[in-house]
């Protein structure tokens, strides 16, 4: 059983947020952060108070001071923001938690938790369906969250943002609404072998219904999708291209702007899976010119249960509903119905109101730090992670090696010779409190292409530090030694594991 420490109860934690931020904030020198911003050690944002973009009011509880009076320590972004993430301050199996599974889901800052709780505590009501104060307040906050997401990815209009329960639903929406209406026998859908299952399965189902076929781009020797092969497969038969922006296994980034330009030249639409890019870098949908783009809240410091679809207005306006019910209608008669304009057309029923509002708070949080600063910091982490892992004998890392022209995402999928990935993840957790993921990472076709059935994956976010990486590397070395000892002398290894 995991032993939890330094983790206040929910009711106790709420008491930390009882007043607006103190004006007596401590300034610190921040690596890669705007020094004009103030940060406070007092976690104080609750109820109606919320940070305003561009304001000098404090919203982060993240100042680090040296013991000597008047001396301020220079810290990384990870060091500075960690106090905002209560879950990171605990022990797991007797060791300090080292969380390296952010590609699966990110942790949530207290500001986001408070925003979610504040909705249910102060103005819980259904949206768009009432004239009373609570309903109006909930509606305003819900639609404000939509506007925040639109601004975050530089959509031209907030009506181009459709809230869904996750990115998977967003892809299914496009597949069933646009795909079933526009694909016919002989049409082609172009993907890569590195796509997430959520990008493959919906289009397999649509292809089976419409008679369209799926084509897949393979990898180069450097283990990145082959752009040359992509261009050779692209043709007038290609009706839509489904691509990831950043691979959740390989850590590679695709040149989306060029892919969109080539695809549009043959009349194809493009859907971008941005689940691993929107949380980590600046994403500008107008610059990318993608027709559709999807992302999930829970990977960008927001709650689970909500994601979004970006779609160009001229496309969404022509697409039929995905689900039927309340909210998505204009008028309902006994023999037919007419439908609302987007985005309401695609948001049938009561949405995840509190979750969407908390996603808006996550966008505020990320925007205050700055996505460019987050991206630059994570490049440092990515390089440190890759080179540290690469230095361990017997470790095989998948995806391209970093270079002056190749920047990996802050994740590494890997295997250790002679040891199963799940065994590695188990011992790292039970003996060292290190959380990584093992398995196929919802990318079975890619793992088969690589000739493996599973891999271990360490994935980072801006709240991680180089110390987290160093702790992971030491724990991994110890884990490898444990299995080597087990292979040589099983009885001795059992004694070590019991200590």
Instruction: Please count the other Cβ atoms lying within 10 Å of the Cβ belonging to residue 184.
Output: 9
Q: Is 442 tagged catalytic?
A: yes
- Helix, strand, or coil here: 360? helix
| Local mean pLDDT, 10-residue blocks, the chain (499 residues) | 31 31 29 33 32 34 43 79 97 96 98 98 95 97 98 98 98 98 98 98 98 98 97 98 98 98 98 98 98 98 98 98 94 96 96 98 98 97 97 98 90 98 98 98 98 98 98 98 87 55
Q: Is 256 exposed, middle or buried (0-12, 13-18, 19+ CB in 10 A)?
A: buried
User: For 365-452, where are the E strands, in sequence order?
Assistant: 395-397, 411-416, 434-435, 437-439
CA torsion 106→108→112→113, rounded to 10°?
Answer: 130
CA distances from 259 to 154, 228, 280 (A): 19, 11, 20
How confident is the model at residue 25, as a pLDDT? 30
For 139, phi then psi, to 5°, come to: -65, -45
Element (H, E) at 44: none
Q: CA 325 to CA 332: how far, in whole Å?
A: 10
C-alpha 261 chain-centroid distance: 25
Catalytic residue among 25, 58, 412, 442: 442
Query: d(Cα 388, Cα 402) in Å, to the nearest integer?
Result: 12
pLDDT of 62? 41
Whether omega for the bond prior to residue 343 falls within 30 degrees of 0, making it cis, is: yes
| pLDDT at residue 487 in the model | 85
Find where tokens 């947020």 sit. Answer: 17
Residue 162: strand, helix, or coil? strand
Q: Measured between alpha carbons, how far is 351 from 227 in angstroms, rounded to an integer? A: 39
State residue 3's pLDDT score.
Answer: 34
pLDDT of residue 5: 30
């Amino acid at each position: 059983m995991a032993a939890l420490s330094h983790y206040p109860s929910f009711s106790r934690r709420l008491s930390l947020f009882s007043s607006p931020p103190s004006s007596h904030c401590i300034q610190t020198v921040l690596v890669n952060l705007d020094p004009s911003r103030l940060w406070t050690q007092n976690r104080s944002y609750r109820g109606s108070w919320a940070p305003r973009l561009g304001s000098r009011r404090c919203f982060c509880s993240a100042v680090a001071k040296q013991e000597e009076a008047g001396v301020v320590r220079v810290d990384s972004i990870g060091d500075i923001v960690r106090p905002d993430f209560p879950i990171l301050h605990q022990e797991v199996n007797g060791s300090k938690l080292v969380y390296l599974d952010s590609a699966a889901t990110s942790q949530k800052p207290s500001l986001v938790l408070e925003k979610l709780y504040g909705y249910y505590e102060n103005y819980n009501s259904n949206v768009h369906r009432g004239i009373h104060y609570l309903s109006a307040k909930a509606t305003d906050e819900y639609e404000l969250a939509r506007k925040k997401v639109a601004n975050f990815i530089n959509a031209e209009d907030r009506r181009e943002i459709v809230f869904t329960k996750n990115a998977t639903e967003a892809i299914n929406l496009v597949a069933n609404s646009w795909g079933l209406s526009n694909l016919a026998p002989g049409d082609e859908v172009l993907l890569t072998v590195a796509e997430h299952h959520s990008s493959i399965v919906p289009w397999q189902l649509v292809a089976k219904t419409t008679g369209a076929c799926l084509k897949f781009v393979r990898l180069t020797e450097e283990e990145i999708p082959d752009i040359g092969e992509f261009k050779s497969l692209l043709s007038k038969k290609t009706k839509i291209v489904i691509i990831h922006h950043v691979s959740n296994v390989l850590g590679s980034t695709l040149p989306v702007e060029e892919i969109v330009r080539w695809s549009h030249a043959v009349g194809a639409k493009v859907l971008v899976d941005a689940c691993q890019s929107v949380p980590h870098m600046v994403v500008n949908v107008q610059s990318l010119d993608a027709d559709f783009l999807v992302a999930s809240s829970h990977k960008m410091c927001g709650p689970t249960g909500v994601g979004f679809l970006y779609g160009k207005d001229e496309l969404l306006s022509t697409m039929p509903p995905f689900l039927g019910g309340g909210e998505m209608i204009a008028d309902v008669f006994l023999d037919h119905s007419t439908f609302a304009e987007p985005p309401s057309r695609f948001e049938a029923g009561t949405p995840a109101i509190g979750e969407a509002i908390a996603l808006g708070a996550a966008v505020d949080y990320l925007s205050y730090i700055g996505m460019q600063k987050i991206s630059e910091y994570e490049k440092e982490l990515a390089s440190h992670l890759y080179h540290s892992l690469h230095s361990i004998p017997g470790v095989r890392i998948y995806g391209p090696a970093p270079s002056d022209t190749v920047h990996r995402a802050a994740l590494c999928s890997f295997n250790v010779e002679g040891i199963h990935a799940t065994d590695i993840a188990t011992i790292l957790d039970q003996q060292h409190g290190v959380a990584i993921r093992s398995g196929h990472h919802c990318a079975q076709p890619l793992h088969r292409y690589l000739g493996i059935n599973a891999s271990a994956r360490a994935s980072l976010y801006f709240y991680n530090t180089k110390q987290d990486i160093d702790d992971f590397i030491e724990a991994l070395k110890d884990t490898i030694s444990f299995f080597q000892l087990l292979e040589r002398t099983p009885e001795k290894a059992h004694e070590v594991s019991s200590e």
